[in-house]
Amino acid sequence: MRKNSQSKPIGIFDSGIGGLTVLKEVRKVLPNEDLIYFGDTARVPYGIKSVETIQKYAIQDANFLLQKDVKLIVVACNTVSSNAMDLLKSKYKNIPFVDVLIPNALYASQITNNLKIGVIGTPATIGSGSYRKVLKRFNPKIKVFSKMTPLLVPLAEEGFFKGDITRLVLKNYLSELINKNIDTLILGCTHYPLFEKEISKICGKKISIVNSALQTARTVKHILEDNGIENPKESTGDIKLYLSDIPANFSKIVYKFLKLDLKNRIEKVDIDKY
């Protein structure tokens, strides 16, 4: 069983392009693994949808990746991680799932000194209270300050990772958290590492930034090792990208992320069939 699973690809899904930050880190940590990515670009953002809709989309996304015979699914979306993980794990018991919430919260709880942690995320992620619950589970003394940041996903999807408009929006969102004297900031959406340089400039050196992509990639590596399903091949793994809609600037964004020309490996998918 384990040997049969070793050569299977890892599946990754997100509401849009944000999950590419996770794919990039998984690629660094596990360069020999084949990766299949699905971005639901036709229905982005998930973060403003109802819980019922988020769960429906999550099941369709997982069904698509399972059709590709993946050995593990990375839910590279904080909104799904906050609102649909229990459903996914109960529905698909024979495949491991990795969410982005637990690795983020665990690492943040380990590095905070003053026990004041800020979280930025979509309305659905922040509204679920998931980060607060998990952080309190790791350490009941932690104080959590959350902020809904709904404009950041559209900015990321349009490629506005820096510039005056982006900086103004970020300052507006972050000033409240900075004034709470936080020493750790969780980027509670996989789109947000795209703004990490700008966020770091605004927050300064006294605030540690927790990048969901990096922590999630490390968790994927540990789970593969624990289950004995790492790919033993020595050659570089393949990457395939599937989208529910192909934005005009997507190939340029992929190259900016991955420094790989994958425009001939992007396919459009009718996700409603799943």
Residue 67: how many other CB atoms lie within 10 Å: 12
Q: Which residue among the candidates 72, 185, 189, 239 is catalytic per the annotation? A: 189
CA distance 240 to 259: 15
Question: Contact, 269 vs 242, CB < 8 A?
Answer: yes
Q: Is 189 a catalytic residue?
A: yes
Q: Is 203 a catalytic residue?
A: no
- Write phi, then psi, for 147 (nearest 5 degrees): -140, 125
Q: Which residue among the candidates 70, 77, 101, 152 is catalytic per the annotation? A: 77
Three-state secondary structure call for residue 237: coil
Beta bridge partners of 267: 242
Binding annotation for substrate = 14-15, 46-47, 78-79, 190-191
CA distance 257 to 123: 25
CA distance 262 to 232: 24
Question: Contact, 119 vs 126, CB < 8 A?
Answer: yes
Binding annotation = 14-15, 46-47, 78-79, 190-191
Instruction: Spell out the alpha helix ranges (H) of 158-205.
Output: 164-178, 196-203
Which residues have C-beta within 8 Å of that of residue 129, sequence separation ≥ 6? none
CA distance 25 to 215: 9
Q: Which of 220, 198, 158 is nearest to 24 (CA)?
A: 220
Three-state secondary structure call for residue 268: strand
Active site residues: 77, 189
